[in-house]
Structure formats: structure tokens, C-alpha cells
């Protein structure tokens, strides 16, 4: 089991459309590089996404973020520690509480981490 950290507010800019019909942009800041983003497929009432960090020398995290229409903001719902750099995220299409992450070979050399 992975323990979640307390959510935090993101220094985000508006999300969605303005009254004039022009698109606005949403920004979510991370403390590390991110390699992948995946929608939460099992939640049909909110706009939620998973973002995985990908660093070799620092702790990695899986962020659950939510886009809000009322406040035009992007907020962090939860942060989960990850054992390595997140290379792929797959959300369960029927249960919003389930997600699978795949991690790369942090030992260097790239590839799939398999033996030779």
C-alpha cells in the first residue's frame, strides 16, 4: 500500500472557457520532471488526472489532480510516494480508486530492465 500525503493548492491559472468563449489555460506545477499523465477513467463526475514524476536521484510521486470549473483552478487532491521514476500510468476504467504505475530501470542503461 502507498500512503498519500495531504493535498496542496497548486499555483494554477484558470481552466475551461471564459464568458467570451476564448479558451483559458490550466497550469499545475511539480517539483520534478513529469513523464506521463493519465485521466481518471472511472470518475464521470469530476475532471481528474494522474501525473507521475520521473527523476533518478530524487523521490518520485504520483499526483492526483482535479480541474475545477467553479474556481477555474487545478488542485492537488493527493500525492502518493512511488518506488522509482514513473514511466506509465494506467487508470482502471470502472473504479476511480484503482491505478497501476510502471517504473523504469533506475540502475542506468535504459531498456526494459531485463537481464541479458
User: Is 13 in contact with 26 (CB distance < 8 Å)?
Assistant: yes
User: Is 101 in contact with 86 (CB distance < 8 Å)?
Assistant: yes
N-to-C CA span, the chain: 31
User: Is 36 in contact with 88 (CB distance < 8 Å)?
Assistant: yes
In sequence order, what DSSP letters do the residues of 48-63 get, joined into one string? EEEEEE--SSS-EEEE
110 against 81, higher pLDDT: 81
Short-list 61, 114, 60, CA closest to 50? 61
Which of these ranges, 57-66, 76-85, 107-116, has the smallest mean pLDDT?
107-116
What is the per-residue pLDDT across 27-65, written as a single tens digit (0 to 9) for each?
788 888 898 999 999 888 888 999 999 998 888 999 999
Round to whole Å and give the CA distance between 62 and 56: 15
Amino acid at each position: 500500500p502507498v500512503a498519500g500525503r495531504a493535498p496542496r493548492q497548486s499555483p494554477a491559472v484558470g481552466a475551461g472557457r471564459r464568458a467570451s468563449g476564448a479558451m483559458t489555460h490550466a497550469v499545475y506545477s511539480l517539483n520534478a520532471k513529469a513523464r506521463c499523465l493519465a485521466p481518471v477513467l472511472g470518475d464521470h463526475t469530476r475532471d481528474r488526472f494522474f501525473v507521475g514524476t520521473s527523476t533518478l536521484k530524487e523521490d518520485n510521486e504520483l499526483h492526483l489532480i482535479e480541474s475545477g470549473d467553479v474556481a477555474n483552478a487545478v488542485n492537488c487532491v493527493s500525492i502518493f510516494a512511488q518506488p522509482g521514476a514513473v514511466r506509465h500510468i494506467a487508470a482502471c476504467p470502472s473504479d476511480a480508486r484503482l491505478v497501476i504505475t510502471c517504473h523504469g530501470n533506475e540502475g542506468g542503461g535504459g531498456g526494459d530492465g531485463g537481464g541479458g
